[in-house]
């Protein structure tokens, strides 16, 4: 139910726009293989996206621009467990729904392993939302300007530049040469630590709004004159990103060009990179940035020539991105708690012991609410169902646990994430992993950052043989648990 359309529905825009299905004949086989698992663009209902983001919960906001951003990006999870990023536009941004749909559908035809691809959109009432692949490892801005454990290595910075150039070359070849407000927040990192270009910048923030929201010092000079973005404007922004990668800071192009003219490249270079590259490599990157930052747009390179210039500069090409980035990769890289370890091993007995010991401590307010004297017979019966379920769960009578908790849940008067978690484990014990996954997901809808909900999803996904998704859920649970421990 993630997408509100069936495979045959007219709202899946496979062949109507731009011939994205089948893939264009000139796309390399390797590239095809890398995007096979990305579904066809389709439309979602507001309700589906509300459920996926736990009601657009504040704790699911992943935008890094803060309150100044006209639009907010949320992380979410569809019923099929696909993780998504949802961009919710300001209500006045796209008054004409038809124009919004046309733009979204056109961008939605792009499919490339260098992009965080657009999966769909929503245009319902006043709501305008975009749905993209979720990239869990933060933005280039975070890794370059606000790093915590290690600065980005030179080899990784070169890889970011190349991947970005390849993304722009692909988009240009598909007739989408314009990219709005290209900056370090638009580059995101996937599960493997590979940099990707966010598809959100392929659409403006509004139908008639500004294409640049960054400081004027970083804006292409012709945009200041005309207010229009051109493909050459995108190349200027690419040049500012090359400066970011070289310096580790967001230096205004005019200042950087003064340093370059004075041959003061040492001052421009990030001190953290000392010893990681030769003078020739640094000079070549500076030369490329200078070409991109030419005042006259026609003097700037195109994406294809950028790719050709960046390929020979690449280093440590055999080293995976997650290693260069120092990003944990897979469950083995995580310091798992006893519950996380139990879910990884599929030790259901250990999981039961931990859940039983925890009781209802994590039900925010629910446990207190359930202890009140109830006034009606129906309420009393509901409470009795829960109490019987608790007894059955303690004694490992999982069939009775499922029956009693189902009676409690179906009444719907009170919501308890712990009850969903306990019934989820009971389904796993009864060899019903799909039902277990549904309950664990429902527990997360009720309590979005509850680590136990994510851990139980991992256990259910392992039982279903969906290894990659299980590892992602396990990692999510570990992150939530570590944050919780830090707060305590």
Which residues belong to the active site? 181
Q: Distance between CA 385 and CA 405 in Å, rounded?
A: 6
Angle at 372 between CA 367 and CA 378, to 5 degrees: 100
**Helices 253-261 & 231-247, crossing angle to 10 degrees?**
70
The CA distances from residue 462 to 222, 437, 439, 441, in Å, are 54, 10, 15, 15
Q: Is the dihedral of CA 246, 251, 253, 257 positive or negative?
A: negative
- DSSP letter string, 386-445: HHHHHHHHHTT-HHHHHHHHHHHHHH-SS--HHHHHHHHHHHHHTT-HHHHHHHHHHHHH
Total number of residues shown for the chain: 488
> Phi then psi for 54, rounded to 5 degrees?
55, 50
Cβ(229)–Cβ(219) below 8 Å: no
SS3 189: strand
Cβ(438)–Cβ(464) below 8 Å: no
Contacts of 83 (CB under 8 A, 6+ apart): 75, 76, 77, 133, 134, 136, 472
Q: Distance between CA 177 and CA 234 in Å, rounded?
A: 8
Sheet holding 127-133, edge to edge: 42-43, 118-124, 127-133, 83-88, 72-77
The CA distances from residue 204 to 130, 175, 209, 211, in Å, are 12, 16, 7, 6
Cβ(394)–Cβ(388) below 8 Å: no
The CA distances from residue 96 to 109, 132, 199, in Å, are 21, 21, 21
């Amino acid at each position: 139910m993630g997408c509100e359309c069936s495979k045959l529905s007219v709202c899946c825009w496979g062949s109507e726009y731009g011939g994205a299905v089948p893939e264009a004949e000139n796309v390399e086989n390797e590239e095809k293989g890398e995007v096979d698992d990305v579904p066809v663009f389709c439309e979602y209902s507001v309700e589906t996206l509300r459920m996926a983001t736990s009601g657009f919960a504040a704790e699911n906001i992943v935008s890094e621009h803060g309150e100044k951003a006209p639009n907010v990006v949320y992380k979410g999870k569809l019923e099929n467990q696909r993780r998504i990023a949802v961009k919710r536009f300001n209500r006045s941004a796209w008054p004409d729904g038809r124009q919004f749909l046309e733009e979204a559908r056109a961008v939605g035809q792009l499919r490339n392993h260098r992009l965080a691809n657009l999966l769909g959109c929503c245009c319902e009432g006043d709501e305008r939302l975009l749905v993209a692949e979720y990239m869990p490892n933060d933005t280039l801005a975070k890794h370059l300007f606000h790093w915590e454990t290690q600065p980005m290595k030179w080899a990784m910075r070169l890889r970011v530049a190349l991947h970005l150039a390849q993304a722009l070359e692909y988009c240009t070849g598909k007739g989408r040469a314009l990219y709005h407000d290209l900056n370090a927040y638009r580059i995101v990192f996937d599960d493997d630590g590979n940099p990707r270009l966010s598809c959100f910048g392929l659409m403006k923030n509004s139908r008639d709004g500004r294409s640049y929201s960054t400081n004027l010092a970083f804006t292409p000079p012709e945009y200041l004159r005309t207010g229009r973005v051109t493909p050459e404007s995108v190349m200027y922004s690419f040049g500012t990103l090359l400066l970011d990668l070289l310096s580790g800071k967001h230096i205004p192009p005019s200042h950087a060009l003064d340093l370059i003219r004075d041959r003061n490249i040492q001052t421009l270079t990030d001190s953290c990179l000392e010893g990681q590259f030769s003078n020739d490599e640094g000079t070549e990157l500076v030369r490329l940035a200078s070409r991109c930052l030419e005042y006259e747009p026609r003097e700037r390179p195109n994406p294809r020539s950028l790719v050709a210039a960046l390929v020979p500069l690449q280093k440590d090409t055999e080293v995976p991105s997650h290693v260069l980035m120092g990003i944990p990769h897979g469950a083995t890289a995580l310091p798992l708690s006893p519950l996380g370890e139990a879910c990884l091993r599929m030790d259901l007995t250990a999981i039961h012991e931990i859940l039983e010991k925890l009781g209802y401590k994590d039900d925010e307010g629910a446990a207190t609410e359930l202890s009140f004297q109830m006034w009606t017979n129906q309420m009393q019966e509901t409470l009795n169902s829960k109490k019987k379920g608790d007894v059955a769960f303690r004694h490992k009578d999982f069939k009775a646990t499922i029956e009693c908790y189902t009676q409690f849940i179906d009444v719907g008067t009170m919501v308890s994430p712990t009850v969903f978690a306990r019934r989820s484990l009971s389904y796993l014990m009864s060899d019903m992993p799909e039902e277990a996954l549904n309950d664990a997901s429902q527990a997360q809808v009720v309590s979005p950052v509850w680590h136990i909900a994510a851990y139980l999803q991992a256990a259910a996904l392992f039982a279903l043989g969906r290894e990659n998704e299980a590892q992602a859920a396990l990692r999510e649970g570990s992150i939530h648990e570590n944050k919780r421990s830090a707060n305590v």
